[in-house]
C-alpha cells in the first residue's frame, strides 16, 4: 500500500475539520512532504464549498459531485483498518458517511429558509397588485357612473341663466332621479365675494329646496359639481343658484341668482 492510499480515507475528514487526535497529527506530518496529498486536500475542500453553496446558488460542477461521492464511497476497508491499528488514537473517529445526514439536513434547512423568504416577498408583491387593482376598479366604476349620467336617455337636462340680466352666465344640470345622480357644469360665472360661494339647489315637486352642493368658479368663470349627496328618488321640478357662505346653507338666501326648469 502506498503512502497516498494509506491516508486516502483521512483526507475527506480533514477537509471537513472532523479528523482529530493522532490521526490528524500523522496526516498533517505526511502533508508537509507530500504535494500530491496537499493538492487532493485542497480539491476536496473546494468540492465541499461548492456543495454547500448549491442549495442557494448555481448547481456545482458534475466533477465536484463525483469527487465527493467517491470520497464518501471510500469507507474503512480491511486493509485500511489494519493500517490504522498501528496508530494509537485518543478518541473514536466519526466516519464521513455518518456526517452525510447532517449535511443533507443543513442543506434542506437552508433551502426552506430561502423559499420562505421568497414566498414572503411574493405575497407582498401580490398584496400590492391587489391593492392597485382595487383602486382601478373604484376609478373605473366612478367613470362609468359619470358617463352613464351624461348619456342617460331619461336624464333631466336643465339650463340655468342669470335672473333679470343678459344670459351670459350659464349652468347646465344633468339629473337622473332613479340613481340620485347629478352633474352640474357652469360657465361665465362672475366671481363671488370673499368667504362666499355659489350654492346649487334642487327644487322638488313638493317640499323645501334641497342643497345640491357649493362651488366657486375659476378664473374663467367655470365650475363643476359631480354627484353631490342627494336624497334618493326625489323628483325635481327645477334648479336654482344662490350666493351663500362658503360652508353652504340649509335654506336659500335671496335673491336667486340663476334658475331653470326641466326641458
Contact yes or no for 198/192 (Cβ under 8 A): yes
Give the three cell numbers for residue 214.
357649493
228-242 pLDDT tens trace: 999 999 999 999 999
Q: Report the range of poorest mean pLDDT among 22-36, 81-95, 214-228.
A: 81-95
Give the three cell numbers for residue 203.
327644487
> Locate cell 496537499: which residue?
38
How does residue 64 score in pLDDT terms, banded at 50, 70 and 90?
low
Number of residues assigned to the chain: 263
Structural domains for the chain: 3-111 (no CATH), 156-261 (2.60.40)
pTM of the full structure: 0.46
How does residue 260 score in pLDDT terms, banded at 50, 70 and 90?
very high
> Would you list the DSSP string of 71-123?
HHH----HHHHHHHTTS--SSPPPPHHHHHHHHHHHHHHHHHHHHHHHHHHHH
Non-local (6+) Cβ contacts of 21 within 8 A are: 89, 90, 91, 93
* Number of C-beta neighbours around residue 224 at 10 A: 14
183-211 pLDDT tens trace: 999 999 999 999 999 999 999 999 999 99
pLDDT over 70 for what percent of the chain? 73
Strand pairing category for 181-187 and 223-226: antiparallel
Higher pLDDT, 263 or 167: 263
Sign of CA dihedral 38, 36, 47, 12: negative
The top-scoring range by mean pLDDT among 21-35, 52-66, 104-118, 159-173 is: 21-35
Contact yes or no for 112/55 (Cβ under 8 A): no
Amino acid at each position: 500500500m502506498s503512502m497516498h492510499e494509506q491516508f486516502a480515507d483521512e483526507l475527506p475528514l480533514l477537509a471537513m475539520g472532523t479528523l482529530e487526535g493522532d490521526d490528524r497529527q500523522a496526516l498533517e506530518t505526511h502533508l508537509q512532504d507530500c504535494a500530491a496529498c496537499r493538492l487532493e486536500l485542497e480539491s476536496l475542500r473546494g468540492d465541499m464549498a461548492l456543495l454547500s453553496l448549491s442549495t442557494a446558488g448555481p448547481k456545482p460542477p458534475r466533477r465536484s459531485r463525483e469527487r465527493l461521492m467517491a470520497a464518501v464511497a471510500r469507507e474503512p476497508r480491511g486493509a485500511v483498518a489494519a493500517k490504522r491499528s498501528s496508530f494509537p488514537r485518543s478518541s473514536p473517529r466519526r466516519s464521513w458517511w455518518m456526517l452525510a445526514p447532517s449535511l443533507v439536513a443543513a442543506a434542506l434547512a437552508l433551502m426552506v429558509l430561502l423559499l420562505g423568504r421568497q414566498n414572503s416577498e411574493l405575497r407582498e408583491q401580490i398584496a400590492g397588485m391587489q391593492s392597485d387593482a382595487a383602486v382601478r376598479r373604484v376609478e373605473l366604476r366612478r367613470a362609468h357612473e359619470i358617463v352613464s349620467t351624461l348619456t342617460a336617455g331619461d336624464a333631466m337636462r336643465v339650463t340655468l341663466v342669470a335672473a333679470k340680466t343678459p344670459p351670459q352666465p350659464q349652468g347646465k344640470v344633468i339629473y337622473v332621479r332613479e340613481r340620485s345622480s347629478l352633474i352640474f357644469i357652469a360657465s361665465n360665472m362672475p366671481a363671488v365675494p370673499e368667504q362666499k360661494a355659489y350654492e346649487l339647489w334642487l327644487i322638488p315637486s313638493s317640499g323645501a329646496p334641497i342643497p345640491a352642493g357649493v362651488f366657486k368658479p375659476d378664473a374663467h368663470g367655470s365650475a363643476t359639481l359631480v354627484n353631490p349627496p342627494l336624497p334618493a328618488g326625489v323628483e325635481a321640478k327645477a334648479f336654482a343658484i344662490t350666493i351663500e357662505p362658503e360652508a353652504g346653507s340649509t335654506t336659500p338666501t335671496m335673491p336667486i341668482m340663476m334658475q331653470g326648469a326641466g326641458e
